Structures are given as structure tokens and as C-alpha cells.
Amino acid sequence: MSIMTTQSTFFNNSLVKYIGASIFLCSFVTFNASAAQLTITDNLVIRDIDEKSVEQGFLSKSQVFQLSQGRHVLVLKYKDVFEDVEFGEERLVKSDYFVVKFSIENQQKLLLSTSHINDLAAAERFIKSPELNLSDEGKQEVVLNLETLSDYELAKQVTKVVTTLSAPAVISQSNDKITNETKKDQAFSAQVINNVDTVPMLKYWWQKASENEKESFLNFINKKKEQK
């Protein structure tokens, strides 16, 4: 009887360990399936990932990041050293920060790199008009979008202002009087409008407008001129 009990206990313990190991393995596989490993070449310096700063310590050269599936926004710049043959010295070439946008779907590994830059002239051309390549583990190209940091920041500012001004104000009335909170909201909205530089806003929406919308706006401007 004791032999059977021992065998039963051994079997139960083995079963528990097997189930536990299976659960751990499944969770590990699930975790890796939902994340992708992004590697960035050494000539690109990362500053932000999805609005979060990336620490770049003096001795830190880590260029590998784990990213979840979905949309991502990177802020980075190009930086490298080349020999200036004309002056016989090395020159540091670096671009302004710019923005890279892309989406991760089912990729497991991604490589973000520049085109092949083998001399000073190519590096100087790159900083004027950056071009990046994003490829997955099968060396298939992944679609990405580049834009200047100033355009990206402008778009964020416009979105913030539009969201603030279009948010429905909750008007609470007591004895036909508007509450202090509503007055504060109205004052804040007025302050936002007064402090917004309208020229960048107009430029932004002009770039976003369709040809029909631009034509309609120009007709509006012409009518305003005729009324003066």
C-alpha cells in the first residue's frame, strides 16, 4: 500500500511540475509573440520612444529595444565621424532630431538603419534629406514615415489646442448662476486662443487641407477682400 501511495505522490508531483512548466513556457511564448526586438544602427542616436526619454549614459551603447505591437514614434538623429580629405582632419557630422513613425504587427525582430553612407559627402547629403530603412527578420521592408521634429511638435500643439477648445464644457447652474469651475474653463479657453500663434496654425491646416478645401478657403479670402 505504501508503494502505491509513493508512486501516486510521485505522479502527482510530476504532473504539477509539468503543468507549471507548460504554463511558464506558454506565457513566455505569448510574451515574445506580442513584442518585437528593435535594433538601431550605431550612427543613429535615439532620444525618445513614444514620448518617453531614452537614457543614453556615457558608457551605454545599447541600441536594442523591446517594443509592443502597435504604433510607435521615435525621435532620433544621425551622428557619425568622417575624414575630411581636403583639410586632412576628422569631421563630426550630425543632423537635427527628426521623427520616425511605424507600426509593429507580427514582426519579431526589426532593424532600423540608414542607407550606406561611406564618405563625408554622402553624410552631408543625408542630414539634408534623411532616409531610413526598416526591415524585419525576413529582410522584408516595413513601411515608415519621416517628418521633421518641428512639424511633429507643431502637430502636437495643434491637436492639444483643438482638443481643449472642442471639449464640451460642463455647465453647472445653481439659481441661474454659472459655477466658478465653468468660469475657469472659459477663462482658460480664452487664454489659449489669445496665446496661440495663428500663423503656424494656419500653415499646419493649409498643409492638411484637400485641394477642394484650399479652393474654398481662397474663395472665402477673396470675398473678404471684396467686402473691404
Whether the Cβ atoms of residue 99 and residue 149 lie closer than 8 Å to each other: yes
How many structural domains is the chain composed of?
3
In tens, the pLDDT along 113-159 reads 998 899 999 999 999 999 999 999 999 999 999 999 988 988 887 77
Q: Which of the two residues, 149 and 13, has the higher pLDDT score?
A: 149
Q: Which of the two residues, 75 and 209, has the higher pLDDT score?
A: 75
The stretch 14-25 carries a mean pLDDT of: 48
CA-to-CA distance for 68 and 145, rounded, in angstroms?
A: 18
Residues 15 and 59 in one domain: no
Q: What is the pTM for the complete model shown?
A: 0.61
Residues 104 and 155 in one domain: no
The pair phi, psi for residue 211, each rounded to 5°, is -65, -40
Residues 97 and 86 in one domain: yes
Question: What's residue 16's pLDDT?
Answer: 45
- Residue 74's DSSP bridge partners are 49, 100
Residues 101 and 174 in one domain: no
**Per mean pLDDT, which of 64-73, 78-87, 205-214 is the most reliable?**
64-73
The stretch 87-113 carries a mean pLDDT of: 93
- Residue 46's DSSP bridge partners are 76
**Across all residues in the chain, what is the average pLDDT?**
77
